[in-house]
Structure 1
Amino acid sequence: MDAWDCFRGLAEELSQYEGSEIFAGVLEPWLSAHPEARDWLVCIAQRPGTPIPPIDDEESWALYALNRTLDTLIAAGNPVSPAQYIAFVEALGMKALKPQQFSPFYHEVDEIEQGPAPASPVAILEFNWPCVMLGNMMVSRARVRVSAGAQVLAPGIADASTLYWTFWRKNRPNQDLSHGWGSNSQWRTAFRRDFALGDTYYYNVDGKKDIATQGDDEESELTQSERIELLTHRCFVRCTKPHNDLWPYDDRFVEQRKAGLLSRLIHRLR
């Protein structure tokens, strides 16, 4: 069984599970039956690139199915503990991390508390779930509760606007390229690949449009900075424009951290 079938089968099994022992009843038996899944992920993690490693369609579909699996595991009501979630992730050769400095690369905002001033920086108050990395590639962002000033993360926007590249969330609108397709075709959805390489973040590396050189978008009526906000956070966090019918899937962007400050790189992916 190839990786796509492995992870798709697991995601479907989890979505239909009605018991109370999901780790012992589903995850442990699946790990024992599919050692090839870990082997495949290790190969993906070790694949060299310049700087981004190549990937084919079926590999991208398999990673999408893996991401759907992780989302299903931490969906509200599923009986998996954080410790069991981490054990499953690590059994597949991935790492569960809790980066303490907020970045849209690593963190998805679940809840916001008002900061002491409008420009107060983001402070992470609690990790609901860790992020999951496969080598230098983001597989699933951490889910966090934060405090921030309204000029940085606006309540009602950062925690309630449409979340893109997302199959399902309980408490906010979401959009995913699999939506609207049939039960088979939806699994042929490309996985969004983000990488942390050295001091550089690469967002949606397979996107066709480099926002740094594209600038404002007349069709969506989004400015360059609004496109960057939408792509990096996967949602609006300050922008008050309509958020439910956008198409950020073709955009890509590169962001570099220097001397503790976040600056924007204006260049193309090679």
Structure 2
Amino acid sequence: MYLPTLILFSAFIFFPFIKGIDISLTNWDGYSQEFRRIGLENYKRMLSDPDILNVIKNTFIYGVGSTLLQNIIGLGYAILLNQSIKGKGIVRTIVYLPVIISPLIMGYIWYFFFQYNGGALNDIILLFTDQPANLLADPKLNVWIITFVNTFQYIGVAMIVYLAGLQSISKDYYEAAQLDGASALSQFKNITLPLLAPSITINIVLNLIGGLKLFDVIKAMTDGGPGYASASLSTMMYQIYFARQDAGYAASLGNLMFVIICVVSLTALFYLRKREVQE
């Protein structure tokens, strides 16, 4: 019964992974039939690449930044929509709606909002000043703008997971706490958060993986530019493969991204699972 799954896993996961490692040990350009093996030269080159540290930093900002914002805001929405308020079904739908839009399309939607020439934001700014703002070309801002857009799109996922967790918590705990005179903050700290631990684990791990491999939104909004100022490892890998025709080095970057995602997500998973048991 496991055979079909093993075949699919081998064909689409295991074999490409092994092939990627093999390509990273060559100087293949991605198109030619000819190449030669160069050992670990691509990995040595990575260590001396002047752009790699900034790209890794951006990758962590997209991963960790999006995770923090999505979980904080998503939990806030979940707590709000878990109350008996009118129209909460409509609000849930509105918050979740961006999730069903393609990330590439979402990136282009926000690009037309922030773009320098004719952007909606600059149309508003020009009502008060003569100089439009080129926010997407500012290395100090564009990474955070992309993080905001990624957060905006996937808040709904975090909200739904937290909402399911909140609705599974028995009201008896809160009634007992109220009889003992516990404040709302104390109830949140000692009842809600501990019992939401499984939901927190799910959201954090999923958000970290999604943020660390972010590609579509970056491609649509800045294409990783200017230069590599807003690039992640995934967009840098794409540009090096197709623009520079350097498949070997691109594969080594892909392997680096795989290692980073595995280390960060598994560390978070084991730590949070341990906290679940303790609580």
TM range (shorter): under 0.3
TM-score using structure 2 length: 0.23
Larger C-alpha radius of gyration, 1 or 2? 2
TM-score using structure 1 length: 0.23
> Which protein is richer in helix relative to its size?
2
